[in-house]
Structure 1
Amino acid sequence: MISDDITLSALRPGDLRPELLAPAGDMDCARAAVANGADAIYFGLDRFNARLRADNFTLDSLPELMRFLHAHGVKGYVTMNTLIFTSELADALSYLGHLNAAGADGVIVQDIGLAHCLTEWGRQVPGMKLELHASTQMTLSSPDGLEFASGFLDLKQAVLARELSLKEIGQCVRHTDIPLEVFVHGALCVAYSGQCLTSESLGQRSANRGECAQACRLPYSLVVDGKTVPLGERRYLLSPQDLCALDRIPDLVRMGVKSYKIEGRLKSPEYVAAVTAAYRKALDAACAGILVDEMVTARDRYALQMVFSRGFSTGWLDGTDHPRLTHGRYGKKRGAYAGVIMNSGQGWLDIRPEGGIPLAPGDGFVIDAGEDRNEEQGGRIWKVQRNRLFFHGKASRIDWSRVKPGQKLWKTDDPALNAELKKMREHLQESTIPLHLTCAGSVGNPLTIACPEYGCSVQSPQPLQTAEKRPLTPEVLKQQLGRLGGTGFRLASCDCPLPEGLMLPLSILNQTRRALVERIQTAREAKESSVPSHPPASFTLPPLPKGTAVPDMPPHLSVLCRKTEQIPAALDAGANAVYLDFEDLRDYAEGIKTVREHGKSIPVFLATPRIQKPSEVGYFKLMERAEPDGILIRNLGAAQYFRQSLLHRIGDFSLNVANPYSAAILKKQGNLAHLTISYDLNAEQVADLLRAAPPEWFELTLHQHMPMFHMEHCVFCTFLSNGTSYKNCGRPCERHHVQLRDRVGQLHPLLADAGCRNTLFNGRAQTGAGFLQDFRRLGLSRFRLELLDDPPEKVRLLVSRYRELLDGSCTAARLIRELDVAEQLGTTEGTLRPG
């Protein structure tokens, strides 16, 4: 925590005014957000957004939605936070034109290519109003990454990765001019946003395309060194508790965080109402310099639990505590913990209440017996007598023989609260726009009243004088300036740092207020009328270089090794280059030595971690000191750090290159020699990319175990130690071979990296051998094999067979037959298989 060391203080004039950003999956949710104090909402349309399961809005309904929002002084940001494939670029750009024409205030984008096109569009059309916001799917987790992105994108706001602590967020705020946005409430993805390939790998439902299947919320078994570890009721090894940062809002406000984001585009209007109302109070308290609990009540906190909760934590904001974040006991909504069952009989139970949670007839509940959550018993309460709860006999459908003392009771539904929240979400005040005003002046000079948001200010026609009787106090100013009835505005805040003892006749003050309102109305009308009625016809896509590759260019085979003992076998079997991806970066020097002693002139590349946090620049320096031939760049921070390096640089799959414009801008800005094609592309989409951009830019991973979850959460620490972080866990990752078994019985290997981040790999290998000839005909010549924990003899087989495949002495059919024997679970075409 940071709060203990900082004195509460009110927001000062000129400080960046915080924005409360609420989710909206439909119009009822939008109304709930507006009614309860949101400054802006974010929502998706029926395409190009990462929550396709939400009801979403449409292009046809967008103008009406924006008119509704703007009438209440609320902004609307459209989510286009998915990767854009080559064949979709023109359509996506047309979509942006429609958003601009409909008056949307901003668009939240993941795809760097699309973001770059929008930036170029803004430079060609200076009057365009559509702001560019970087999505959390862009995986911005360090000042270096922010600096890299701001070098070629006109970002008006950027959402930081959810895995950052308060200290790390503060470092990002201090080292960038980009207004930053932080998630403060709701469900946490266990994997880094933009880096989760689980749904894509297991079911061709990409999280980068809005089709997440939520595999993190399912039960898994822990298998250590070949034996299943008994974990009791802890089955949900990858399901984090939900984020609740109410008490960290003052810290974030003082740091200068601009936007406070509530997760939940799949949630109900009641959820939006309750969460928005609570965080409106917390933000107002922080801005006024008072304690959160002076405005946020116990009832507000209870409502947060009831509308949706898997249990609350502060996520990563307070630093690393793996067991607190992901305890493994449940993966779905739990509601509020009511207490422990002390005794029970047919149709009744006695409870020892805990936490002050009210219980009433009609309330929904579930009994937590530590069993499979799909077999849990629950229902509704019939009658309450002190601490004894009664239930209808047969109607309750409870098997009372299974109810035992010591089991826990969770309250899952509160009809009375639901009725309150329904009123809250439907209660929209008169359509008024909030104004934030500032006042300045001194004796003998006019009073200046300004509205910075609209760039308007006025001065009183008379100067301020020394007061004899009734001084112009902040309270009087706010009272008079708040007389805005019938204007369509309301006074939201007023900063009044005037010297004491000044006076201005109230008639003059009112006259000045009316003059300011007229100017604001004129400014608003000009702003609305300046929005173009159609997409600018002058916009053209930035030109792309032409390719020079030819189909008969000799094939190049790179092999990624994760162990030093794999290197000689890979070199002997025909690797043209070696990439090293070790858990301990201090072992890189020994790996390079092995390559050079065994492979003579074979180049060796070092892979950066997938994620870079603010304090992790040292990893890059360590890699430089090892003196490799090149670097495999896996994050935007690394791209920034190494962009002026003389080392050969290759962008990896985690940069999410899915279209030619992403490739072009990353290649240029990062000075990258080659780019690995995104794992979200199937074979047809790879072909589209190779036809649209020079094939010699690209490398394709031909064989691998797909890296599914990549997460800050450490399974090793949580379930194989009594520690909370790498500082006290004893590092079981270095001593044990760990796998997770899924619901269908398949085992998936788990590895840790240098930052103690975990990656869960698909237990079944993926091969693109069947598509090789098509890729070769399109000019692709660079291919990669990624090893996992393969022993040297298997490495020799894999590399030699793929070498023969590339050289034409082995067919794809033969290679796949041999690999199906060598691989324990066989092989699959996986994500390359056309949908």
Structure 2
Amino acid sequence: MKSELLAPAGSIEGMRAAIAAGADAVYMGGELFGARAYANNPEEEGLKEAIDYVHLHKKKLYLTVNTLLKNKELKTQLYDYIAPFYEQGLDAVIVQDFGVLTFLKKEFPKLPLHASTQMAVTGAEGARLLKKFGVSRVVTARELSLSEIKEIDEQTGVEIESFIHGALCYSYSGMCLFSSMLGGRSGNRGRCAQPCRLPYKVECYGKKTGSQKEEYPLSLKDMCTIELLPEILNAGVYSLKIEGRMKKPEYAAGVTRIYRKYLDLYEKNPASYHVEKSDFEELLELYQRDGFSQGYYRQHNGRNMVALENLKQQKKEKGVCQRDEALFHTLKKEYTEKKLQEKINGTLMLYTGAPAILDLEYDKIRVSVEGDRFEMAQNQALTQERIRKQMMKTGNTPFCFENLEIQTDEQGFLPMQSLNELRRKGLSLLKEQYLNSFKRTLPEKTGEQNNNYAESKSSELETSEEIYYYASVETREQLSAVLERPEITGVYFDSTLVWGNSVEQKLDQIVERIHKKKKEAYLMLPYILRKEKTDQIRKLIEYSAERLEGFLIRNVEELGLLEKMGLLNQAVCDFSLYTMNDESKCFFDKKGVKRTTIPLELNESEIKKRENSDSEMIIYGYYPMMISAQCLKKTCERCEKKADIVTLTDRYKSRFRTKTVCDFCYNVIYNSIPTGFLQEEEKIKKLGIKNLRISLTTERKQESKELLELFLGVYKNKKNVPKNVLEFTKGHFKRGVE
């Protein structure tokens, strides 16, 4: 199957430039719900014209609706937003939110749906689940290796799209709350402020690691895989995706034309694939951060992937020009300003005494138009040469003649104005008929959603209804502290507590301790599950399924795995399996999960309007800001294959504790201040939430005991909030996100 080169279009100009440079398809956002809210996204009419433009040139356009939607947005805006593009013939929608996925599948059944990289699909189980639900394409997590992608392809057969060039996020996409928690600009809502591009100091054991110049430990180099194209294609990737909707049209054109060149060369002669040095250097000139890396395709992480010194920023601060202006000027002339026209065939019949007839053909579309009568010439008859010269003037239309057959007796005359009008009418009809072949009829609304949205608030708990308290622990010290509290109904214990040797024995010991205290036991599965650990996790789940009450799952891969094993009735979905709206919660409820967790980015008012039955809310904890395949310790010091705590300090002296989770090879960067809802106790109890969680992460035993005493004292034992309470942030409970 021929592959697809997919280019970014942050604007109409960018779309035209990318198509001119050889893209098979473009992805772009509209006015709403795109992950690049600050790009120069077109309004409705502009986007409809863009859909027509790509179709006229036999290309495709995918619309980004890859953010999380709130209830009101989904119920009152989404249908009206998508409907005109659906009718226009939109080729696909890229989606992150399970609620959006469900809604679009229901309301627009003929619209192809692509699972965004924001879903962080890391393996075959997650991809299989999405395919089963109706997703036609999966955009893989950027952290996957070639072998992992190949396994997804071989085991599921789902169409795969993967990034091949451009910026890399430090965090797994969709698993980052850094920008959101620090400044209210949520990456899940398309407004990331890129805190990963700022300077930080990394400390290990209280000492700064790395040199003084290495101040950007979270800033990854851009990815360039031009030399890996054959391997990526052989791994089963169909759509080769270039990142860059926030960059200039010339960038999109320049990168696209080079990848187009080598993709075509490879398809013609795979054995002789070789990248010229000049082309690689041109990619560097277009954009780079301390050079390129080849991304994660061949390595799990590494210091060589990080732009530690950020030379680009240093030059910018010194006022040094970093751009090859001549190159950008050339790209602008050749692609951004280029007029594309498709070749058509035509037949013009001019016989005296009869009306002029023009037949046109493009692809499989044929049209015929009739013009003014071809009258007998009084003076000089029109020659074929004169007729042809006039008819070939197709101007700013999307067509030009490849072949134009002129049939005439050369005895008549027709004013040039009449020929122009005949050509205009014919080309206009050809365009209309061709575009009509893409258009759809809008299906009747299901009636399950309508624009007269009545806000259905969650019912407040009756005073007689009991609230259940849960605690999650990541250390044995924390577990001991939790087990001392009779108010705790259930305990989530991290899988790292049983990982390694004697897994079953360690699990039995912990579960026995928990059950002995008459509490429910839940195993917390890793934030990210990758191929090399899937079999071990599967065996652990099989062994523990009958021994405990359930599993806390954090990602699509684990969701798919438990569904395959028939254990979703034991699954508690953590906040990272987002249920921002009722439609998404309904998706998980229909899957039969035990509980969902309220997303961390909703405010009080939004939670109140959410359907909260069988949900759980975290009332205390250091929120995970990033889950990264990169390792701060490995980047700034060395890998010791030993779990540790590293400290990240920003410009304002805020300190973010970072846990190196070596068992599953990822880092968790926690917020500098824990989120705690003490004064909000009464408000939270009025939200209709029956399950509340205290999340312990890096706290020692004594601190854990004090926190449990504090929160359980206020919530369960009706104590007053102490005056000199610890410093807590309210997260998004008050301010929410845009």
TM-score range, shorter chain: 0.7 to 0.9
Tell me which residue corresponds to 1:414: 324
Shift of the 175–434 alpha-carbon distance from structure 1 to 2, 3 Å rule, reads farther
1: CA distance between counterparts of 2:364 and 2:496? 53
Shift of the 562–99 alpha-carbon distance from structure 1 to 2, 3 Å rule, reads same
Tell me which residue corresponds to 2:583: 661
1: CA distance between counterparts of 2:42 and 2:398? 30
Q: Is 2:606 aligned against 1:685? A: yes
Cα distance, 1:655 vs. partner? 0.5
Of 743, 746, 749, 2:657 maps to 749
Tell me which residue corresponds to 1:675: 596
Tell me which residue corresponds to 2:123: 142
Tell me which residue corresponds to 2:729: 828
Shift of the 487–772 alpha-carbon distance from structure 1 to 2, 3 Å rule, reads closer
The answer to whether the Cα contact below 8 Å between 1:568 and 1:595 also exists between their aligned partners in 2 is no
Q: Deviations over 1:461-499 (max 9, x none)?
A: xxxxxxxxxxxxxxxxxxxxxxxxx995999xxxxxxxx
2: CA distance between counterparts of 1:268 and 1:594? 55
Cα distance, 1:234 vs. partner? 1.1
Cα distance, 1:298 vs. partner? 3.1
Deviates further, 785-794 or 165-174: 785-794
Of 619, 624, 633, 1:716 maps to 633
| SS of equivalent to 1:639 | helix
Deviates further, 217-226 or 77-86: 217-226
Tell me which residue corresponds to 1:309: 288
Tell me which residue corresponds to 1:580: 493
Q: Is 2:48 aligned against 1:69? A: no
Of 705, 716, 719, 1:807 maps to 716
Shift of the 529–585 alpha-carbon distance from structure 1 to 2, 3 Å rule, reads same
Tell me which residue corresponds to 2:356: none
Shift of the 797–275 alpha-carbon distance from structure 1 to 2, 3 Å rule, reads same
Tell me which residue corresponds to 1:590: 506
Matches within 5 A, 1:381-530: 412-426=322-336, 428=338, 430-432=340-342, 525=433, 528-529=436-437
The answer to whether the Cα contact below 8 Å between 2:632 and 2:667 also exists between their aligned partners in 1 is yes
Q: Is 2:699 aligned against 1:790? A: yes
The amino acid of 1:301's aligned partner reads F
Tell me which residue corresponds to 1:289: 269
1: CA distance between counterparts of 2:664 and 2:698? 19
| SS of equivalent to 2:28 | strand
Shift of the 778–833 alpha-carbon distance from structure 1 to 2, 3 Å rule, reads closer
2: CA distance between counterparts of 1:200 and 1:559? 25
The answer to whether the Cα contact below 8 Å between 2:139 and 2:160 also exists between their aligned partners in 1 is yes
Cα distance, 1:28 vs. partner? 1.6
Cα distance, 1:378 vs. partner? 5.2
1: CA distance between counterparts of 2:637 and 2:21? 44
Shift of the 434–604 alpha-carbon distance from structure 1 to 2, 3 Å rule, reads farther
1: CA distance between counterparts of 2:176 and 2:581? 19
The answer to whether the Cα contact below 8 Å between 1:233 and 1:329 also exists between their aligned partners in 2 is yes
1: CA distance between counterparts of 2:398 and 2:340? 11
Of 294, 300, 305, 2:279 maps to 300
Deviates further, 677-686 or 184-193: 677-686
2: CA distance between counterparts of 1:639 and 1:542? 27
The answer to whether the Cα contact below 8 Å between 1:558 and 1:576 also exists between their aligned partners in 2 is yes
| SS of equivalent to 2:45 | coil
The amino acid of 1:69's aligned partner reads V
Matches within 5 A, 1:7-46: 16-46=1-31
Shift of the 807–289 alpha-carbon distance from structure 1 to 2, 3 Å rule, reads same
- What percentage of aligned pairs have identical amino acids? 30
Q: How many residues align?
A: 645
The amino acid of 1:672's aligned partner reads V
2: CA distance between counterparts of 1:245 and 1:261? 11
Of 645, 651, 657, 1:737 maps to 645
Shift of the 454–807 alpha-carbon distance from structure 1 to 2, 3 Å rule, reads farther
The answer to whether the Cα contact below 8 Å between 2:365 and 2:433 also exists between their aligned partners in 1 is no
Q: Deviations over 1:372-418 (max 9, x none)?
A: x84xx4546xxxxxxxxxxxxxxxxxxxxxxxxxxxxxxx2222222
TM-score, structure 1 normalization: 0.73
| SS of equivalent to 1:769 | coil
Deviates further, 194-203 or 412-421: 412-421
The amino acid of 2:115's aligned partner reads A
TM-score, structure 2 normalization: 0.82
Q: Deviations over 1:529-576 (max 9, x none)?
A: 56246x433333379999898433211111011101211211223321
The answer to whether the Cα contact below 8 Å between 2:196 and 2:218 also exists between their aligned partners in 1 is yes
Of 544, 548, 551, 1:631 maps to 551
Tell me which residue corresponds to 1:236: 216
Q: Deviations over 1:425-457 (max 9, x none)?
A: 23535422799xxxxxxxxxxxxxxxxx9899x
Q: Deviations over 1:267-292 (max 9, x none)?
A: 01111111000111121122223367
The answer to whether the Cα contact below 8 Å between 1:166 and 1:319 also exists between their aligned partners in 2 is no
Cα distance, 1:833 vs. partner? 2.1
| SS of equivalent to 1:240 | coil
Q: Is 2:116 aligned against 1:116? A: no
2: CA distance between counterparts of 1:117 and 1:168? 30
1: CA distance between counterparts of 2:248 and 2:593? 45
Cα distance, 1:611 vs. partner? 1.5
1: CA distance between counterparts of 2:577 and 2:364? 38
Of 587, 591, 613, 1:696 maps to 613
Cα distance, 1:648 vs. partner? 2.3
1: CA distance between counterparts of 2:329 and 2:506? 66
Tell me which residue corresponds to 1:206: 186
2: CA distance between counterparts of 1:172 and 1:710? 22
The answer to whether the Cα contact below 8 Å between 1:218 and 1:236 also exists between their aligned partners in 2 is yes
Q: Is 2:90 aligned against 1:104? A: yes
Shift of the 771–149 alpha-carbon distance from structure 1 to 2, 3 Å rule, reads farther
2: CA distance between counterparts of 1:131 and 1:433? 29
Cα distance, 1:43 vs. partner? 0.7
Shift of the 804–305 alpha-carbon distance from structure 1 to 2, 3 Å rule, reads same
Of 38, 45, 50, 1:53 maps to 38
Q: Deviations over 1:717-760 (max 9, x none)?
A: 22221xxxxxxx322x43x4311111110111111223110010
The answer to whether the Cα contact below 8 Å between 2:456 and 2:609 also exists between their aligned partners in 1 is no
Tell me which residue corresponds to 2:231: 251
Shift of the 680–652 alpha-carbon distance from structure 1 to 2, 3 Å rule, reads same
| SS of equivalent to 1:175 | helix
The amino acid of 2:81's aligned partner reads Y
The answer to whether the Cα contact below 8 Å between 2:86 and 2:108 also exists between their aligned partners in 1 is no
Aligned Cα root-mean-square deviation (Å): 3.0
The answer to whether the Cα contact below 8 Å between 2:123 and 2:531 also exists between their aligned partners in 1 is yes
The answer to whether the Cα contact below 8 Å between 1:162 and 1:182 also exists between their aligned partners in 2 is yes
Cα distance, 1:634 vs. partner? 0.9
The answer to whether the Cα contact below 8 Å between 2:14 and 2:336 also exists between their aligned partners in 1 is no
Q: Deviations over 1:750-795 (max 9, x none)?
A: 1122311001001201113343323322321111011122122221
Shift of the 209–646 alpha-carbon distance from structure 1 to 2, 3 Å rule, reads closer
2: CA distance between counterparts of 1:292 and 1:746? 53
